[in-house]
Amino acid sequence: MPPKKNAKKTPSLKTKQKALLKTSRPVVSKKVVSTTKIKDEDKESHKNTPYATLRGMKDVFGKEGRMFQRVYRVSESVARAYGFSYVETPIVEQTSLFVRSIGKGTDVVDKEMYTFDDKDGSKVCLRPEGTAPIARMYINQGMHTMPQPVKMWSWGSMFRHDRPQAGRYRMFHQFSCETLGEHSPVVDAELISVAYNTLRDLGIEASVRINSIGTPEDRENYLVELVGYLKSKRSYLSEESKKRLQKNPLRILDSKDEQDRAVIEDAPQIVDWLSEPSKKFFMSVLEYLDEVEIPYVLTPTLVRGLDYYTDTVFEFVEEGVPETQQGSLGGGGRYNGLVAQLGGQSTPAAGFSLGVERILLALKRKEEEARKNGTFVDTAEKQQVFFAQLGEQARKRALLLIERLRRAGIVVSHNLAKSSIKAQLELAHKVGATYTLILGQKEVQDGTIITRNMESGIQEIVDQKKIETVVKKLLGI
């Protein structure tokens, strides 16, 4: 990979070791390129109509629909290039799958699950995330017998009953990659690289925050120390963190509350409790990242909100956007215990998910900035050729010609229901067509078709048999 133009220099091994031991606060880039406020789109879908969409859920259409599809296409092409194969799991699963894996005491399980009783009385829920279902599928489909590692990518909707705000919805989409069956730091680095390069291909400069939370044993030892420390500072903690002290003290480290931040700054750090193998593994992940020139920020307070993680954890944030304005674009980590926890054999694994709606917000933010700076280039796919027909016979032939053009890779817009040529030419102007193909009664009989340059109005009669070559020549493709 060629070096990034303004890639941050990553620290040397020694500096990294030092930072691992000393850093108490994430080093966040000072470069702030945008303070654009993104409006709460959720409000827009609450117009006073009889069937408003549910809170935190929205329709996707028009320009956003095109952006959504572009994110899908880029994700697909990167995932495929790195050898991931596409999988899908059901949207509805047993509630216990998530309670078991994500863990009681997490916000997702305690507050945000869309759980309901199925007709047979069993507890089911809309999936809040996709990793536990992938681990379940690995077990159910006997994937341990396949050549390891098994690399899978997926795309789909997730549901979390959270308080909606900009970038936080109750139904959202994730692009995910998971690698199961291999315990090697290069797997972690590859996954980070796939996510990072997907964002980069979309034009988003992201920074990677990374930490290691070690094995469950490392964490148990660390928690004794952490809880001792936090209890000694209990009176300074926010109400939410006081509650977390009982249920999930590790998550206090993630708190954005200013009161909590002051306490967290001096808290013991998990990296000091890592066992030798975990420390070595983490150092090795960082070395691989150095090698592929992916800039990262060692973030000792990063613990992530799901219980299944072991060792490496990471998140992607948009470069230059103030922390108060952003949620993460995505996140992931290693989850070596999850498959065994769900009843399979012990299987090392790691993965990530990018939040599609967060990516769309970042793209919109970039577009707004570019418009302000006058550097915006409209890359929206323009329909460059319009097909107009006149008369019943021409309409019949039109479908055949449109299909021939499609097979040649040329997409033509058209409205076969319209019969007036004037109305069709107006439509051609509206969609920004550079050429219109006109097929009338006479042309059907002659085996010809008219090409019209929409700017100059110049028309030419061409042989229908050569239509693909002619149109390609006109469009310069």
- What is the contact surface with ligand HAM in residues (CB under 6 A)? 129-131, 160, 162, 167-169, 172, 174, 176, 178, 305, 327-333, 335, 351-353, 355, 357-358
Nearer to ligand HAM, 38 or 454 (CB): 38
The minimum distance between CB 216 and ligand HAM, in angstroms, equals: 16
Count Cα neighbours of 169 within 13 Å in the Cβ-side half-sphere.
26
The minimum distance between CB 191 and ligand HAM, in angstroms, equals: 8
The minimum distance between CB 135 and ligand HAM, in angstroms, equals: 9
The minimum distance between CB 465 and ligand HAM, in angstroms, equals: 52
The minimum distance between CB 333 and ligand HAM, in angstroms, equals: 6
In 51-135, where do the E strands start and end?
85-86, 92-94, 114-117, 123-126
Phi, psi of 191 (to 5 degrees): -65, -45
| Residue nearest to ligand HAM according to CB distances in the complex | 355
The minimum distance between CB 332 and ligand HAM, in angstroms, equals: 4
The minimum distance between CB 352 and ligand HAM, in angstroms, equals: 5
Distance CA 349, CA 107 (A): 23
Nearer to ligand HAM, 290 or 311 (CB): 311
Name residues whose C-beta falls within 8 Å of residue 3's C-beta, 6 or more positions apart in sequence. 293
Triad 446, 451, 454: Cα angle to 5°: 150
Nearer to ligand HAM, 70 or 168 (CB): 168
Distance CA 285, CA 266 (A): 26
Nearer to ligand HAM, 103 or 305 (CB): 305
Contact at 8 Å (CB) between 359 and 386? no
Can you say how many angstroms the Cα of residue 113 is from the centroid of all Cα atoms in its chain?
21
Kind of pairing between the strands at 150-159 and 206-212: unpaired
Nearer to ligand HAM, 53 or 221 (CB): 53
Nearer to ligand HAM, 162 or 293 (CB): 162
* DSSP labels, 211-241: EE---HHHHHHHHHHHHHHHHHTGGGS-HHH
Nearer to ligand HAM, 197 or 328 (CB): 328
CA separation, residue 165 to residues 32, 42, 283 (Å): 22, 7, 37
Structure tokens that stand for 63 in this block: 């320009």
Nearer to ligand HAM, 176 or 384 (CB): 176
Which strands make up the sheet holding 435-439, listed edge to edge? 412-414, 385-389, 435-439, 448-453, 459-463
The minimum distance between CB 335 and ligand HAM, in angstroms, equals: 6
Distance CA 77, CA 198 (A): 9
